[in-house]
Amino acid sequence: MEVSGKYNFNATPEQVWEKIMDPDSLSKTIPGCEKLEEIDTDTYIAHVKLGVAAIKGKYEGKVQILDKQKPEHYQLNIEGEGSPGWVKGQMVVDLVPNNDKTTLNYKVTADVGGVIASVGSRLLTGVSKMLIGDMFKKLNNMLKEEESVNSQ
């Protein structure tokens, strides 16, 4: 499965980078994240509960941040499994400055197995894009709230 897209943030690349690299912020923005625990530098165990279509269920997985080039590029390696199946993949992210804003470009490549694999790539692609979009929207809202507090 491959999914790619972009999201526009109302913040500088440095501001987006700081928020994305903050485990507390990430745990609040990852859809269904119940717990995110650091097990090593830039390596986390995520406990996620999703209630969307055929990927509904509880998952536990390892997330590792690699190839960090602050504030413009990083890669996430993801391995997880739960009752509906398993996923193994990577997400490459590039932050592109656009005046005082940032365009985040992402590309996800993943292999899936179990019940999840039986739902078809179109449904999986759509659900994946929705979840990624929700995550970035929450992150953008956090940045807006922070900016609002700082400007007062």
In three state form, how does the secondary structure of 100-144 look? CEEEEEEEEEEEEEHHHHHHCHHHHHHHHHHHHHHHHHHHHHHHH
Global confidence as pTM: 0.89
The pLDDT tens digits for 101-125 are 999 999 999 998 888 878 777 778 8
Say yes or no to pLDDT of 80 above 80.
Answer: yes
Looking at the domain that runs over 2-140, which CATH code has it been given? 3.30.530.20
The structural domains of the chain, with segments of one domain joined by +, span 2-140
The pLDDT tens digits for 26-58 are 899 988 899 999 999 999 999 999 877 667 889
The pLDDT, as a whole number, for residue 56 is 82
Say yes or no to pLDDT of 98 above 80.
Answer: yes
Return mean pLDDT, the chain.
Answer: 91
